[in-house]
Amino acid sequence: MAERFVVRTPGRGFIDITRQVAAAVSTAGAVSGVANVFVRHTSCSLLISENADPSVRHDLEQWMGRLVPDGDPVFSHDMEGPDDMPAHIRSVLTGVSLTVPVLDGRLLLGTWQGIYLWEHRHQGHRRELVVSCVPGL
């Protein structure tokens, strides 16, 4: 059975969920194969990024804010505010599904890789995640 958990975000920014994902994988037992992490929303996303220096996330946010600016007049969909459509675009660009190899119940991430939930709305949200463990050959 997949593990499901909720992350409450404080607003736009990154939340390191590596530990929650690792715990969900560990709960499934000493399996080898892959784990899929999935977030059930269209205005946040998942990514694997550098986990050592917070300035990487800071710069990522700055760069993305320039690529997909809030309140861009090209957007007609702004019912929930100037960050509504930008959140959908950021979610499409970085994706809502990540698959990571697993060995003996442990994520085979590189030393500098962390798994992050990226909240794209300025307001905090309740985000549902699903971690599925799939045994390999």
> How far, in Å, CA of 70 to CA of 114, rounded?
27
Smallest distance from a second copy to CB 67, Å: 8
Residues ≥6 apart with Cβ < 8 Å to 129: 4, 5, 6, 7, 17, 20, 37, 38, 39, 40, 117
Structure tokens given for 95: 């994706």
State which residue, 8 or 128, has the beta carbon closest to a second copy.
Answer: 128
**85 lies in the site for a second copy, by CB under 8 A:** yes
Site for a second copy in 9-48 (CB under 8 A): 28-29, 31-34, 36, 38-43, 47-48
Site for a second copy in 92-121 (CB under 8 A): 92-103, 108-113
Smallest distance from a second copy to CB 10, Å: 20
How do strand 3-8 and strand 106-107 relate by DSSP bridges? unpaired
| Beta-strand runs (E) in 1-137 | 3-8, 13-16, 33-39, 44-50, 97-103, 106-107, 113-119, 126-135
Residues contributing to the site for a second copy (CB under 8 A): 1-2, 28-29, 31-34, 36, 38-43, 47-50, 53, 55-56, 58-60, 62-63, 66-68, 72, 74-77, 79, 85, 88-89, 91-103, 108-113, 128, 130, 132-137
